[in-house]
């Protein structure tokens, strides 16, 4: 059954007290690892549990073998979802304060685990606060529920797949980072600047309006029709810096009405450049 990709603040507020609704606060800031948890403890949407990008939504970093945010082991993530009271009957709403960059990671991971009943909060925490909706402080917990994963490994591709694709051209590849990083300008996040050869720039922020809400579906459809050209979404691969912001593009594609979504290279640029023998392309003169 199809489930709404996004949920409005009004719709979420109307579901207050629903025991089959799990709200997950995914706030995070790169370089400030305690920010999200501290912000959650100070105030959050009532009923929400907290998910930390590094501790909960990522696995251990292995130098040369992973990017900055590899996926956690299935068994560990399964236990975490169970501890959050998520099972097959649970609807999940994820939010952050960064236009669903971090909430989108959880959205995709749940689908990867076979759970489709998940939405992200459109306009995120900032819209909830602007509207003076209820908040709560301190840590919250939910009653344990057994989560049973039905893994979808086909949703991602490996670095070897991406490397082979440069010659084979099986997929059209898209880079979700901002244009400056794609072009090859120096950036503190990227020890090596540039992009995967042949990749097309598709900065995720262009899916959003000035308030951090997703653009209307018809606008997103026009954007991705132009980017994809004659390529079907399922014949494409999207990546970003470390497998996080890329998911904003997948949310936007789903909003635009595409029934099949691209594969994701989770290791992304941070993994690609860990091997100096992998080719790099820039658009700088």
What are the catalytic residues? 240
CB-based contact 52:28 (threshold 8 Å): yes
**Which residues neighbour 5 within 8 Å (Cβ) at sequence distance 6 or greater?**
119, 120, 251, 254, 255
Tokens of 225: 């029709």
125 strand-pairing partners? none
What 3-state DSSP class applies to 5?
Answer: coil
Burial 124-141 (b: 16+ CB within 10 A, else e): bbbbbeeeeeeeeeeebe
How far from 240 is each of 116, 174, 205, 227, 275, CA to CA, in Å? 23, 8, 12, 16, 17
Where helices occur in the chain by DSSP H, the ranges are 9-14, 35-42, 74-83, 101-112, 124-130, 159-168, 179-183, 217-228, 246-255, 268-272
Tokens of 233: 């979404």
**Which residues neighbour 132 within 8 Å (Cβ) at sequence distance 6 or greater?**
none
Give the HSE-up count for residue 141: Cα atoms under 13 Å, Cβ half-sphere.
Answer: 6
CA angle 69, 89, 256 (to 5 degrees): 60
Tokens of 18: 């629903």
């Amino acid at each position: 059954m199809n489930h709404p990709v996004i949920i409005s603040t009004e719709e979420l507020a109307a579901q207050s007290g629903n025991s089959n609704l799990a709200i997950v606060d995914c706030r995070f800031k790169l370089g400030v690892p305690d920010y999200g948890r501290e912000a959650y403890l100070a105030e959050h949407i009532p009923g929400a549990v907290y998910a930390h990008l590094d501790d909960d939504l990522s696995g251990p970093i292995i130098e040369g073998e992973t990017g900055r945010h590899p996926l956690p082991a299935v068994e560990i993530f399964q236990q975490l979802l169970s501890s959050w009271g998520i099972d097959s009957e649970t609807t999940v709403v994820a939010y952050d304060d960064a236009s669903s960059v971090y909430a989108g990671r959880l959205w995709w991971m749940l689908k990867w685990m076979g759970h489709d009943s998940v939405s992200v909060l459109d306009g995120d925490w900032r819209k909830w606060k602007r509207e003076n909706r209820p908040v709560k402080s301190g840590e919250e917990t939910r009653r344990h529920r057994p989560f049973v994963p039905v893994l979808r490994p086909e949703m991602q591709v490996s670095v070897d797949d991406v490397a082979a694709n440069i010659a084979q051209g099986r997929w059209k590849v898209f880079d979700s980072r901002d244009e400056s990083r794609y072009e090859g300008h120096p950036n503190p996040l990227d020890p090596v600047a540039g992009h995967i050869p042949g990749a097309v720039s598709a900065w995720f922020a262009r899916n959003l309006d000035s308030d951090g809400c997703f653009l209307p579906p018809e606008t997103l459809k026009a954007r991705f029709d132009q980017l994809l050209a004659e390529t079907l979404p399922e014949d494409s691969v999207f990546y970003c810096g470390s497998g996080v912001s890329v998911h904003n593009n997948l949310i936007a594609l789903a909003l635009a009405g595409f029934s099949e979504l691209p594969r994701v290279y989770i290791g992304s640029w941070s993994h690609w450049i860990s091997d100096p023998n992998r080719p790099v392309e820039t658009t700088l003169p």
